Amino acid sequence: MRSTLAETRARARLILAVAACAWASVLLGSGLGALTSLRPPGLSGLERVGLGIALAAAGQLVFLVLVADRFFPKADRRLVMISELVVFVLFLAGLASIAVGVMYPGSAA
């Protein structure tokens, strides 16, 4: 029994979606873990919050770009772009928070 091209593409799309969901879940779980942990070793409060926000936003962005965009191609482009932009800005804010925490270690408890 030979697979048609359409079946092969559907299988590849499913494998990509499962891998992207796993990747996004690990990022999101790590981010939430960093946000909820009391005292991770070696991180100040500002760095920990920035790391948590950056990882959680990265997980959301991976899911939006690799899963949602492929399974819902007819979604309103303005809504998709706005949601992806908001999540990307959150990611950048997390990175900026990490940078501030590293450059100015005494700036937050």
Q: Summarize pLDDT for 35-70 with one digit per residue, the tens.
A: 887 666 777 778 888 999 999 999 999 999 999 988
Q: What pLDDT is recorded for position 107?
A: 60
Q: Is the pLDDT of residue 3 over 80?
A: no
Helices 45-63, 5-36: axis angle to 10 degrees equals 160
> What's the predicted TM-score (pTM) here?
0.84
* The Cα angle at residue 57 between residues 50 and 28, in degrees rounded to 5: 95
Q: Is the pLDDT of residue 85 over 80?
A: yes
Torsion sign, CA atoms 90, 92, 98, 103: negative
List the structure tokens of 34: 């960093």
Q: Is the pLDDT of residue 84 over 90?
A: yes
Comparing C-alpha atoms, which of 103, 104, 91, 102 is closest to residue 31? Answer: 91
Q: Which residue has the tokens 């809504």?
A: 79
